[in-house]
Amino acid sequence: MNILVVGGGGREHAIIKSVKKNNNVDKIYALPGNGGIAKDAECVDISAKDLDAIVDFAIKHSIDYAIVAPDDPLVLGCVDRLNEVGIPCFGPDKKAAIIEGSKAFSKNLMKKYAIPTAKYEVFTDRDEAVEYLKSQDMPIVVKADGLALGKGVIIALTLEEAIEAVDSMMLGKVFGASGDSVVIEEFLTGPEVSVLAFTDGTTLIPMISSMDHKRVGDGDTGLNTGGMGTIAPNPYYTEEIARLCYDTIFIPTMEAMNSEGRKFKGCLYFGLMLTPNGPKVIEYNCRFGDPETQVVLPLMQSDLLEVMMAVTEERLADIEVKFSDKSACCVIVASGGYPASYPKGKVITIDDSVSDSVYVAGASIVDGDMVTSGGRVLGVTAVSDTLENAIKCAYDKVTKVDFEGAYFRHDIGQKALRALEAK
């Protein structure tokens, strides 16, 4: 089989490493891939947003199956376009991808179908938004409606900060058209859990839970990032909470999408907060999380490509999806300065002993060297019998990768360890 993977980050690298294990796979192309993915797939310099070029490439290279991983092409309708020319895909179509593409859509969906989430209002008028803010308790959360690379969320501690956030999104357009409408939301507290789930619209199978670390600095300080590290499973996500989430959030969401005529097929990501009033949805994503995938897939024992194809062919109910009972930890190594500005072009060295555990996110090949080209450069994952060992082993492996200015958090998994100790 010829497989096409659309995307070029650490998540796509993890997907490709898993898909490669299937014996029916002859060739994997990554569009655009990156300098590290190039070791595992043929990378072609086509943007993940250039749907015309992707479809053209897929036809010319006799692609048998495509995996569309990032939010942008999914929201733009990449799956619809590939399906139109007869290429089966993993990922939701455009109608279903709106669950991530518009926060206003997803919030209204949750309200309509009584799926637990933070109280909210949606505004398209700046003055109305400000009037509403004046009547609310602080802190409060201000979100740009559309895609904003995980950065369109501001937690305002004071009314002034909240108004500033609304103005920067609606008037300053810091997130472009994504800020034409804003969601203003109640501030929730509690541990966060990420749950990815396979669904074909009829059956939904949650994967192992995980915990992201979104802030750039140790102790959850500093700016929000795309994710500085992950662990799995998430110790806060007990069996009892998992059952509650399945019954009150996961299945109701799948059914709500069906009722709206937007059947979701692919990986549905639930960003949850376990509040004192029960689990609530913070966000939906229409795709695998990054860097959650880099800990979830290494723990998956079933064949990823077979599961994906079962989703596409709507026969998920007939197969089993198994996960190991071990733990995993992924530490992201970023360019110094990220998420603000950072240098590029620094030569990356990865010791052979750890290359299987490294998922490259931001690198290109220049004159035969792998050099940094992004903020998050790579992730290093370790799997072990206990979370404590997985963390230790991941940090040992981090010493085997290097580039000038490499930066990583030193406390990935520590909050989870403390939660385990408290049990």
Nearest approach, Cβ of residue 366 and ligand AMP (Å): 33
Establish if 187 lies at the interface with ligand AMP (CB under 6 A).
Answer: yes
Of residues 205-234, which lie at the interface with ligand GLY (CB under 6 A)? 212, 227
State which residue, 225 or 372, has the beta carbon closest to ligand AMP.
225
Q: Which two tokens stand for residue 17?
A: 């490493």
State which residue, 200 or 283, has the beta carbon closest to ligand GLY.
283
Nearest approach, Cβ of residue 378 and ligand GLY (Å): 16
Long-range contact set of residues 337-342: C-beta below 8 Å, sequence gap at least 24? 337/405, 337/407, 338/216, 338/225, 338/375, 338/376, 338/407, 339/151, 339/216, 339/223, 339/224, 339/225, 339/226, 339/375, 340/223, 342/375, 342/405
Of residues 138-157, which lie at the interface with ligand GLY (CB under 6 A)? 150
Establish if 290 lies at the interface with ligand GLY (CB under 6 A).
Answer: yes
Q: Where are the alpha helices (DSSP H) in 300-377?
A: 304-312
The stretch among 28-36, 180-188, 354-362, 395-403 that binds ligand AMP (CB under 6 A) is: 180-188
Q: Judge contact between 75 and 92, C-beta under 8 A.
A: no
AA letter at 205: I
Between vectors from CA 45 to CA 25 and to CA 17, what angle results, nearest 5°? 30
Closest CA to 395 of 373, 366, 374, 417: 417
Establish if 12 lies at the interface with ligand GLY (CB under 6 A).
Answer: no
Q: Judge contact between 37 and 51, C-beta under 8 A.
A: no
Nearest approach, Cβ of residue 206 and ligand AMP (Å): 18
The stretch among 90-98, 138-146, 286-294, 365-373 that binds ligand GLY (CB under 6 A) is: 286-294
AA letter at 256: A
Establish if 138 lies at the interface with ligand AMP (CB under 6 A).
Answer: no
Distance CA(405)–CA(423), nearest Å, equals: 38
Question: Which partner, ligand AMP, ligand GLY, none, binds residue 289 by CB below 5 to 8 Å per kind?
Answer: ligand GLY
Nearest approach, Cβ of residue 300 and ligand GLY (Å): 17
Radius of gyration for the chain, computed over Cα atoms and rounded to the nearest angstrom: 21
Nearest approach, Cβ of residue 338 and ligand AMP (Å): 17
Distance CA(197)–CA(205), nearest Å, equals: 5
Establish if 101 lies at the interface with ligand GLY (CB under 6 A).
Answer: no
φ, ψ at 12 (rounded to 5°): -65, -35
Question: Which partner, ligand GLY, ligand AMP, none, binds residue 292 by CB below 5 to 8 Å per kind?
Answer: ligand GLY
Nearest approach, Cβ of residue 247 and ligand AMP (Å): 22
Establish if 188 lies at the interface with ligand AMP (CB under 6 A).
Answer: yes
State which residue, 126 or 214, has the beta carbon closest to ligand AMP.
214
Strands of 117-265 (E only): list them. 120-123, 140-144, 153-156, 182-186, 192-199, 204-206, 211-212, 215-217, 221-224, 229-232
DSSP code of 47?
Answer: -
Number of chain residues interacting with ligand GLY (CB under 6 A): 7
Distance CA(292)–CA(152), nearest Å, equals: 19
Q: Residues 243-282 vs ligand AMP: string with x where CB under 6 A?
A: ----------------------------x----------x
Establish if 380 lies at the interface with ligand AMP (CB under 6 A).
Answer: no
Question: Which partner, ligand GLY, ligand AMP, none, binds residue 188 by CB below 5 to 8 Å per kind?
Answer: ligand AMP
Question: Which partner, ligand AMP, ligand GLY, none, binds residue 153 by CB below 5 to 8 Å per kind?
Answer: ligand AMP
Distance CA(151)–CA(10), nearest Å, equals: 18
List of residues contacting ligand AMP (CB under 6 A):
118, 141, 150, 153, 155, 185-188, 192, 214, 271, 282-283
List of residues contacting ligand GLY (CB under 6 A):
150, 212, 227, 285, 289-290, 292
